[in-house]
Amino acid sequence: MILSKLRRRRSSGEDVSRRGARGGDTALPPTPLDGGVVSCQVHDERGTPMSEAGVTVINRLNQQVAQGKTDSYGYYLATVPPGVHKITVIAGGYHRTGARADVRTNRHTSIGSLQLEPDTAMSLPEAGIWRVEPDHTEVRFIAQHIGMSRIYGRFRNIEGYIHVAEPFEQSRIEVSIDASTIDTGVTMRDDHLRSSDFLDVANYPKMYFTSDRITHLRGNRWTGSGSLTLRGTTSPVQLDTHYLGQRSWNGTRAACVCKTELRREDYAVNWQQILNKGIAVVGPTVQIELDVQVVQDE
């Protein structure tokens, strides 16, 4: 609501604090008597509003006076001291852009629309086989414990390939993870997680992920949809992926970071212990984070 009101007034330079005091139809927050409001909207190269773009406001002394991210409609708004400020916008897979704004006391200053252009240096891997490099790849997980703290762990052994196609959206990912290498830093807990109560490593020593669709969202943002097989049960998974580009070091390498959330019940991991207040010892979901580096096969 705040930003919908802002869109209708963004070029008017209206005294937002005074209107708020009159109890008018404004939804903007009150402006401090010694400050002003600056706003902008960020678009991608197609003119689509871009959410979660990073915005930084710097004053003439090169001091940061505000920082944040655009909302789901691409808007950013901040209350800052008066003066001439530099606004810088960054987003993964795009060139940095910016503008200047002369912010006046008790006024709203809009710099309008800022458009980001793709960073052509973020080239995609060429067609062929790219092997997961286990020494520089890590699979981490985060689980909730007794409803008040988190347990962190990782798997130490991962193997796999990306069969890169042209176009890239037709590529295919195949990965296996050694379930027995689970490591939370506590031997007794790790032994329990390997047991039939959880991973059942004796009967299902590995977990498998296979992609069925790769979708480009914007910039360096991708979605990898596929299936994860864990202790003999297969369920769909969607990986929120940030592509990090390529480097030449002991071969040609590419990297990305991925996140997803798994529900234990989807994989028949139903062991549970309840505290006397009805609080579960282990939470129903597990957060997964992956840092993946692949090397082009020669």
Structural domain harbouring 63:
2-115
- Residues 157, 265, single domain; the answer is yes
Cα separations (Å) of 86 from 16, 103, 224? 22, 10, 37
Helix, strand, or coil (residue 2): helix
Q: Which residue has the tokens 């090397």?
A: 295
Of the residues 85, 115, 145, the one at which a domain ends:
115
Amino acid at 121: A
Mean pLDDT of 265-274: 86
- Residues 136, 109, single domain; the answer is no
Look up residue 291 and give its two tokens: 């840092």
Residue 9's pLDDT is 43
Query: Is a pLDDT exceeding 60 seen at residue 4?
Result: no
Look up residue 258 and give its two tokens: 């991925």
Q: Which residue has the tokens 């414990």?
A: 145
Question: pTM above the 0.85 mark?
Answer: no
Q: What angle do CA 20, 103, 60 make, to 5 degrees?
A: 145
User: Would you say the C-alpha torsion 260, 263, 266, 272 has a positive or negative sign?
Assistant: positive
Beta bridge partners of 36: 80
- Residues 289, 159, single domain; the answer is yes
- Residues 136, 274, single domain; the answer is yes
121 in a domain, yes or no? no
Mean pLDDT of 111-120: 93
- Residues 105, 140, single domain; the answer is no
Query: Is a pLDDT exceeding 70 seen at residue 18?
Result: no
Q: Residue 264 is part of a domain; what is its CATH number?
A: 2.40.128.110
Dist CA 166 CA 180 (whole Å):
36
Structure confidence by residue, pLDDT tens digits, 67-113: 999 999 999 999 999 999 999 999 999 999 999 999 999 899 999 99
pLDDT-derived band at 29 (thresholds 50, 70, 90) equals low
- Residues 88, 31, single domain; the answer is yes
Average pLDDT, the chain: 88
Listed residue (56, 106, 55, 54) closest to 81, CA to CA? 106
Of the residues 115, 144, 179, the one at which a domain ends:
115
Residue 131's pLDDT is 97
Listed residue (185, 182, 170, 231) closest to 205, CA to CA? 231
Beta bridge partners of 108: 37
Domain count, the chain: 2
123 in a domain, yes or no? no
Residue 298's pLDDT is 76
